[in-house]
């Protein structure tokens, strides 16, 4: 999608949500200038925050990744949700790297799509008191909640929102019967 199309999509999402839920703008792109333009578009369209991967394709070092997020934080007034998706970017935001990013007041949460429950647990232990930790896979809801994550930001809800919400609520409440009933359907998506 072009930047103009992405901006139209953000505007439509904010309009349709009508304040019922916060809209986070996915601002990631191959070009940093486009990431910064998307941050501006997110602010202009009324998004509640941004979701940002480390630089895509470049596979930056931890120092370079930190500098990138520092530039991002200085370019927007919106809260930032870090996005760790090592399979997609080749960069793993390890718990110690995320902890170093706490120096940026606008970094308020992280979506961890590492698929590694040990890493999620370490992340919660290191930064859970200061950042909201979310996982990126519905299949990790139960173990992630058990180690202190607060939620999931994933994709299956677009296909079956009620199923994902019911499963999440059952996991949060420890409702084993509902978990057992819903889990096979959720994991089949």
Tens of pLDDT, residue by residue over 93-119, are 999 999 999 999 999 999 999 999 999
What are the residue ranges of helices labelled H in the chain? 3-17, 32-45, 62-75, 86-89, 95-100, 117-127, 141-146, 157-173, 176-188
Dihedral pair phi/psi, residue 25, rounded to 5°: -90, 125
Cα separation, 189 vs 164, whole angstroms = 10
In this predicted structure, what is the pLDDT of residue 88?
A: 87
Determine which helix (DSSP H) or strand (DSSP E) holds 112, and give its type and residue range: strand 107-112
In this predicted structure, what is the pLDDT of residue 189?
A: 84
In this predicted structure, what is the pLDDT of residue 99?
A: 97
Q: List the catalytic residues.
A: 83, 111
Which residues of the chain register pLDDT less than 70? Answer: none
pTM of the entire structure? 0.94
In this predicted structure, what is the pLDDT of residue 57?
A: 83
In this predicted structure, what is the pLDDT of residue 157?
A: 77
Cα separation, 136 vs 128, whole angstroms = 16
* The pair of three-digit structure tokens given for residue 65, joined into one six-digit string: 């990744």
In this predicted structure, what is the pLDDT of residue 70?
A: 97
């Amino acid at each position: 999608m072009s930047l103009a199309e992405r901006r139209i999509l953000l505007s439509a999402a904010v309009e349709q949500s009508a304040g019922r839920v916060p809209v986070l703008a996915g601002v990631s792109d191959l070009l940093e200038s486009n990431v910064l333009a998307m941050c501006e578009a997110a602010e202009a369209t009324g998004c509640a925050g941004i979701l940002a991967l480390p630089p895509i394709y470049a596979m930056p070092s931890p120092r370079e990744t930190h500098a990138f997020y520092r530039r991002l934080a200085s370019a927007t007034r919106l809260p930032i949700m870090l996005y760790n998706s090592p399979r997609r970017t080749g960069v793993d935001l390890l718990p110690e790297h995320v902890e170093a990013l706490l120096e940026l007041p606008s970094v308020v949460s992280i979506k961890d799509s590492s698929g590694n429950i040990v890493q999620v647990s370490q992340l919660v232990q290191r930064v859970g008191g200061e950042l909201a930790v979310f996982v990126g896979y519905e299949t990790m809801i139960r173990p992630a909640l058990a180690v202190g994550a607060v939620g999931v930001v994933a994709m299956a809800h677009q296909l079956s929102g009620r199923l994902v919400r019911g499963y999440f609520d059952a996991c949060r409440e420890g409702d084993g019967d509902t978990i057992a009933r819903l889990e096979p359907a959720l994991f089949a998506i």
